[in-house]
Amino acid sequence: MSYPLAAHAWVRDVVCGMPVDQWAVTFFATYRGTRYFLCSQRCQERFSENPETYLQGPEAKRARTNER
């Protein structure tokens, strides 16, 4: 089934920068009360191993502001 683009809520994966649909995503992590949506199990593992690494770079800023 296909949905119009506007029906999606796109956010950025803080690990790799890939846009992900937060309504359809299956990988996520919660850190300090914030949920981060991730594109794959590998990105989820990397984030969980050391979240601070990914929360200080440019991808983290884009993820927090939902830039594409």
For the question of whether the overall pTM of this predicted structure is more than 0.85, the answer is no
For residue 1, pLDDT over 60 is answered with: no
Backbone Cα Rg of the chain: 12
Where are the alpha helices (H) located in the chain, listed in sequence order? Answer: 41-49, 51-54, 58-65
Q: How far apart are CA 3 and CA 13, in angstroms?
A: 21
Residue 64 has pLDDT above 60, yes or no: no
Which comes out higher in pLDDT, residue 7 or 22?
22
Do the beta carbons of residue 59 and residue 67 sit within 8 Å? no
